[in-house]
Amino acid sequence: MTSEDDPFHDCELDPEAILGIHTFEDVLFTDETETPMNVLTGETPAHSQATVEEAKEFATSIDTDTPQIALPASVETQIETQSKPYTAAAFFHFKTTGSLERHRAYHAAYDSDAYTVDFEADYESGDLTITVERVADS
Element (H, E) at 102: helix 100-111
Instruction: Tell me the pTM.
Output: 0.88
In the chain, % of residues over pLDDT 70: 96
Question: How high is the pLDDT of residue 10?
Answer: 86
Question: How high is the pLDDT of residue 104?
Answer: 96
If phi > 0 it is left, if psi is from -120 to 50 it is alpha, else beta; for residue 44 that is beta
Question: Looking at the predicted structure, is the pLDDT value of residue 3 above 70?
Answer: no
Q: What is the pLDDT of residues 47-75, one digit of tens each?
A: 888 999 999 999 999 999 999 999 999 99
**Mean pLDDT of the region 20-24:** 98
Alpha-carbon span 109 to 135, nearest angstrom = 11
Question: How high is the pLDDT of residue 7?
Answer: 86
The answer to whether the CB of 54 falls within 8 A of the CB of 31 is no
